[in-house]
């Protein structure tokens, strides 16, 4: 196999595998950390050239549907906790925000909170929710964690009094 990629709308292909590499596995782990964020397509070319002479070798290529590379976590803006009313904006530059959750005092049991409009369906979501049932009375450190559709997460803390 030979694997290459291109940015959506561009024609230039870049190799994922080395040009002289004989890649025979049917799965490839591809670290996209060095790839700029955006929409991409992958092209896989299969060949039987290592089993056949040049005259008899067969090749076939297929290109994927467009997919998103998103390596940057979302941002949490305008974070406020007044009493037990949590307000914030969760934003991502590439993917939709898909989950916002809270925990308190270093606990690992995060609980989801809902967006103001009732559905996570955009890259900019507002949260305005009473979290009194999730955080007991008294002084606590509340951790807010936000995920985007690519699985990137970020968290911030705010004091509850």
Residue 104 confidence (pLDDT) above 90: yes
The pTM of the whole model exceeds 0.85: no
Q: How far apart are CA 21 and CA 26, in angstroms?
A: 14
**Average pLDDT value for residue range 54-79:** 95
Rounded to the nearest 5 degrees, what angle is found at the Cα of 76, between the Cα atoms of 75 and 81?
Answer: 175
CB neighbourhood size of 22 (10 A): 11
| pLDDT band, residue 20 (cuts 50/70/90) | confident
Query: Could you tell me the two tokens for 48?
Result: 């039987």
Tens-place pLDDT, residues 38-52: 999 999 999 998 889
CB neighbourhood size of 152 (10 A): 16
Tens-place pLDDT, residues 112-135: 999 999 999 999 999 999 999 999
CB neighbourhood size of 160 (10 A): 21
CB neighbourhood size of 45 (10 A): 15
Residue in 130, 128, 132 with CA at minimum distance from that of residue 118 = 128
């Amino acid at each position: 196999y030979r694997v290459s990629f291109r940015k959506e709308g561009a024609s230039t292909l870049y190799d994922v595998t080395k040009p002289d590499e004989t890649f025979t596995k049917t799965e490839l782990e591809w670290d996209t950390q060095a790839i700029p964020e955006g929409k991409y397509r992958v092209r896989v070319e299969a060949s039987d050239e290592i089993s056949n002479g040049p005259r008899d070798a067969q090749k076939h290529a297929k290109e994927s549907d467009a997919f998103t590379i998103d390596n940057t976590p979302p941002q949490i803006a305008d974070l406020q906790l007044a009493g037990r009313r949590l307000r914030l904006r969760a934003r991502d530059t590439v993917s939709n925000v898909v989950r916002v959750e809270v925990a308190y005092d270093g606990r690992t049991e995060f609980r989801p909170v809902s967006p103001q409009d009732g559905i996570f369906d955009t890259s900019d979501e507002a949260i305005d929710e009473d979290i009194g049932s999730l955080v007991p009375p008294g002084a606590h450190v509340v951790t807010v964690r936000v995920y985007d559709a690519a699985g990137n997460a970020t968290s911030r803390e705010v004091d509850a009094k």
